[in-house]
Amino acid sequence: MKFFKNRTARNAGWLIGGRIIHIILSFVIGLLSARYLGPGNYGLINYATAFATFFNAFCTLGINSVIVKNFIDHPEEEGETLGTTLILRLVSSFLSLCTITGIVSIIDRGETVTIVVVALYCISLVFHVFDTFNYWFQSKLLSKYYAIATLVSYLAASTYRIVLLMTGKSTQWFAIANSVDYAIVAVLLVIFYKTNHGPRLSFSLRKAKELLSVSCSYILSGLMVAVYAATDKLMLKQMLDETSVGYYALAFSISTMWAFILAAIIDSMKPGIMRDHNENKEKYIQGNRNLYAIIFYFSLFASSCVFVVAPLFIKIVYGEAYLPATTPLRIVTWYVAFSYLGVARDIWIVCERKQKYLKYMYAGSAALNIVLNYFAIPIFGASGAAIATLITQISTIFLFPVLIKDMRPNVKLVAEAVMLKGMLKNRKSKKKEN
């Protein structure tokens, strides 16, 4: 057990270390790009991002939420699971790219630059398929390889962006940068998989049916999540303009730039919690509670810091042209805590096999988000989108789950974690034992 904990800590260390370097590069290149492009073109790039985000749920087919559990439950079928997932995701990603191009050609008819930028940006969806290998590395606590791959790829993509800045290229060239990043990650992950003697890949119709039968709820729920993850930018562009998208996108980007730490913590604790579900139910429950508490209070501290320094940070780093992003940032920064509580909750949902309820919760959240954006954007602009995002995310964690009987135990776990109820009790019992 001590060995497993040490490997978990090292695994988290690689993830966090790699992401720290990634986020520094992303921050520097991102701010230079934002200054160069200006709020309008920066908003256009993020408009393209919204389409990629919206269709990503269909591209992943929800399998990303269940694949680690499948590796743990069926270790002898790892090659079959990986190969089948890759084929399924390649097909769905190519279809998504074609669909996105068709949709933008209709709703933004006549805006040639917009259509080209969105199409070029969304090519990355095809290369993103290969992050499937990351889940195999996660299950083996070998996330250092994914950290190395993403670091090398982002160094290359950053160099590409710097060349664009130095040569004064148009927005279309910046749209390709994301695809360059994912393409290099794809190549490196395949190489690392081979060097670590990963099992031979194969496709199985039986495995495809097995994975899709478990993940189908995640496909629908993922689409609903994508609705309220992308609706804000899409509605801002259609109801106002790309400049408003730029202000909101910058606010959202700043508010989440540190959230990679939360993702690394969740990815590293996930295998252990899933194993405890099969071996020690009490420890499994406590593991979930501990994870929720870490996510919530770490987010609370970070968001408080962002709230205080927001105007000064934006003015110094991004320039006065982006100062209208201050209020949206101060609102949307609180979204992170509830968003990553939702990511952490997926572990409990997979283990308890409650996937079928996700579509109902997220359908309610998606509908709520659209309604809130519809009324808030015309009144508050980008800040209205931020308000809609925050309220929607809180509802997804507390309001909609509490309406479903089988989801109430998780709401209780989250509430206990927020109040530190389970942790304090556990700490006292340990003191008595000593």
The per-residue pLDDT for range 133-146, each reduced to its tens digit, is 888 887 777 777 88
pLDDT above 60: residue 5 = no
Q: Which residues of 255-274 are buried (b: 16+ CB within 10 A; e: fewer)?
A: bbbbbbbbbbbbbbbbbbbb
Whether residue 1 has pLDDT greater than 50: no
Taking only the tens place, the pLDDT of each residue in 195-206 is 888 888 888 888
Helix (H, G, I), strand (E, B), or coil: what is residue 233?
helix
CA distances in angstroms from 343 to 72, 93, 133, 335, 417, listed in the order given: 19, 22, 20, 13, 15
432 in helix, strand or coil? helix
Q: Quick one: pLDDT at residue 433? A: 47
Q: Looking at mean pLDDT, say which of 76-80, 96-100, 221-225, 352-356 comes out highest.
A: 96-100
pLDDT of the residue at 49: 86
**Which of residues 376 and 169 earns the better pLDDT score?**
376
Q: Which has the closest alpha carbon to 117: 229, 37, 58?
A: 37
Q: How would residue 8 be classed by pLDDT, with cut points 50, 70 and 90?
A: low
The overall average pLDDT reported for the chain is 84
Dist. CA 312–CA 310, nearest whole Å: 6
Distance CA 374, CA 166 (A): 40
Reported pTM: 0.70
Residue with tokens 């776990």: 413
Instruction: Give the whole-angstrom CA distance, residue 154 versus residue 152.
Output: 6
Q: Which of 101-115, 248-262, 340-354, 411-425 has the lowest mean pLDDT?
A: 411-425
Taking only the tens place, the pLDDT of each residue in 306-355 is: 999 999 999 998 889 999 999 999 999 999 999 999 999 989 998 898 88
pLDDT band at 380 (very low <50, low <70, confident <90, very high): very high
Distance CA 168, CA 156 (A): 18
- State residue 67's pLDDT score: 78
Q: Is the pLDDT of residue 256 over 90?
A: no
Percent of the chain with pLDDT over 70: 90
**pLDDT per position as a tens digit, 418-429:** 898 766 555 554
pLDDT at 15: 59
Between helix 78-107 and helix 2-60 the angle, nearest 10°, is: 40
The pLDDT tens digits for 280-306 are 888 899 999 999 999 999 999 999 999
Q: pLDDT tens digits for 227-251? A: 766 788 889 988 988 899 999 989 9
Burial of residue 316 (number of CB atoms within 10 Å: 0-12, 13-18, 19+): exposed
Answer whether residue 153 shows pLDDT above 70.
yes
What pLDDT sits at residue 159?
Answer: 87
Q: Could you tell me if 202 and 339 are in contact, meaning their C-beta atoms sit under 8 angstroms apart?
A: no
In this model, does residue 191 exceed pLDDT 80? yes
Whole-number Å distance between alpha carbons of 396 and 338: 8
Domain ranges for the chain: 2-425
DSSP of 167-206, one letter per residue? HT--HHHHHHHHHHHHHHHHHHHHHHHHHTTPPPP---HH
Q: Quote the pLDDT of residue 308.
A: 95
pLDDT in tens, 220-233: 666 766 776 678 88
> Mean of the pLDDT values across residues 69-86?
82
pLDDT tens, position by position, 14-57: 556 666 776 777 778 878 888 888 888 989 998 998 888 888 87
